[in-house]
Chain A
Amino acid sequence: MKILIQQMITGISIGSVYALIASGYALVYSLLDFSNWAHGEVCMLGAYCCFMATMIPKMPFAVSCVLGIAGAALISLFNEKIAYRRIRNNGSPNMFLMIAAMGLSTTYQNLANVIWGSKFKQLPRFFKTSTLNINGIFVGTTDLLCIVISLIVLVLLLLIINRTRFGLHVRAVACAGSTARIMGIRIDQVIALVFVMAGALAGLAGITYGMKYNVYPTMGNVGLKAFIASVIGGLGSVPGAIVGAVLLGLIETVVSGYISSGLRDLISFSLLILILLIRPAGLFGVDVQEKA
């Protein structure tokens, strides 16, 4: 029982990292109707930015984190400005956005490999003690930190989307882009800001993930997991992405704990295909009939 609780906490903590990335997927998907494959690499680059900042002497770790988040936000914005916006304005098929994203993802992953090499880089930890013992249940302090930070940030995100004027604009563009434009919303600006937000979330995820498992060029593959999470929740739905992420984190840790860690990815991908078949729109998505 105690082991189960321990694993649940680990699962929720990894799930909360997925949730940070998955909500970025969902935001971008809700606006542009495409899966931003480069998002995982934004997360990885954010972690590296943070790592580089920690190398500067006397730099407080908190400031490094902020720099990492800012770096990720900038890269995300860069992707939008340099690639996605142009493709949208070309009138190219939506599929091309995905190919461009895949190209960016390959580029960043290999760029990181060229610059920093494939060796693991270690981020400092916030706390001296790595585990707490609560009534015989061992809980990682980094895990707790992940959960708390993600919780705060995600609540903030949901508040921004549902309570602010900017959030209203985001929802309007997601709902009907061209109508929103007529109503005087500057779509490109809204989209750019969403990319900044998604990038910042990914950067934060990269740093927390990096604290848990170190920083390495292929860590962007965590983006795949986050993508699965957002599919489970329903592409384009932020709350769905969060629920899907926590669910996936729990399933993964339980599978590695009780069945086999080798089969962990097999099970999460099978789950993905299963959900796509049973509920193609995900748990929270709405299936819209396309007008012919």
Chain B
Amino acid sequence: MSNNSTPLLEMKGVEKHFGGVRAIDRFDLRIMPRDIYGLIGPNGAGKTTIFNTITGIYQADEGQILFEGKDITKIKPHEAAALGIARTFQNIRLFENLSVKMNVIIACNMHNRYSVAEAILRLPRYRKVTKAIEERAIGFLESVGLADKADDIAGSLPYGHQRKLEIARAMATDPKLLLLDEPAAGMNEEESLELVDFLKKLHHDNPITILMIEHHMDVVSRLCEQCTVLDFGRTLAQGTVEEVKQNESVVAAYLGGEL
């Protein structure tokens, strides 16, 4: 399988309806390995719905989703994670009452195999794996700069740290594709620039592909080469960020808005 020709993620004519509303309408997407791809559009354009169909929270009504050439249209959420699709959420979803470290450990556990008997009797393999996982979790926390907060309760972290923790948790599942849902939401200029650097480093250090939903155009233009603009579930434009900015229908839809 040559990585150059097979897209990591491909969506063909995907549709999702809620009652009479078409949340996404004949949506196509091709993301090559190692891309950083942007998904842009006003609220309610169907961006998060696309994430939800990729990760199996929703089942697409029409069309096909391929991951590394494999059909994942009817996948379940935990199976998507096991295949290497990790995500963050628009409204942060941490395990709030658990410690910061535990949040990451739980994600690390995905590749952790010891049996119930080994756990109950605390056999050597359990001890070994548990220790290794703990170290691994601390490693992920270090990479996002939260190692010193490892024992804090996740819900007590400030907002920016919670976003970072969610990314660390997603990375701990060892993903090939990382879906980020508005990582810069609620951040000011300075913070979002910091985020750009952080994501660039993350992408550089790890063999991952990133698909991100973002409103901040400066974040998108600094990170993404390719992007898709959505409006009311329809694709308005697809191409490089520069191309898209010039596109008439995009300009019309935003009419001097964020672009």
Contacts and interface: CB of A to CB of B under 8 A. Distances in A.
Direct chain A–B contact by Cβ atoms under 8 Å:
yes
Interface of A: 289, 292
Interface string B15-36: 0001000000000000000000
B52 interface: yes
Nearest to B19: A289
A249 B185 CA distance: 55
A292 B57 contact: yes
Interface in B209-224: none
Nearest to B58: A292
B18 A292 contact: no
Contacts of B57: 292
B18 A289 contact: yes
A292 B58 CA distance: 9
4 contacts: A289-B18, A292-B52, A292-B57, A292-B58
A289 B57 CA distance: 11
Interface of B: 18, 52, 57-58
Nearest to A289: B18
Contacts, number: 4
B139 to A, nearest CB: 30
A292 B52 CA distance: 8
A287 to B, nearest CB: 12
B95 to A, nearest CB: 14
A290 to B, nearest CB: 10
A289 B52 CA distance: 13
Nearest to B52: A292
Contacts of A292: 52, 57-58
A168 to B, nearest CB: 23
Q: Which 4 A-B pairs have the closest CB atoms?
A: A292-B57, A292-B52, A289-B18, A292-B58
A292 B18 CA distance: 13
A94 to B, nearest CB: 16
Contacts of A289: 18
A118 B58 CA distance: 53
A292 B57 CA distance: 7
A139 B58 CA distance: 55
A289 to B, nearest CB: 7
A101 B58 CA distance: 34
A146 to B, nearest CB: 41
Contacts of B18: 289
B257 to A, nearest CB: 25
A292 B77 CA distance: 12
A289 B16 CA distance: 13
B98 to A, nearest CB: 16
B100 to A, nearest CB: 22
A289 B23 CA distance: 14
Contacts of B58: 292
B97 to A, nearest CB: 11
B60 to A, nearest CB: 14
B77 to A, nearest CB: 9
Contacts of B52: 292
A90 to B, nearest CB: 15
A260 B256 CA distance: 76
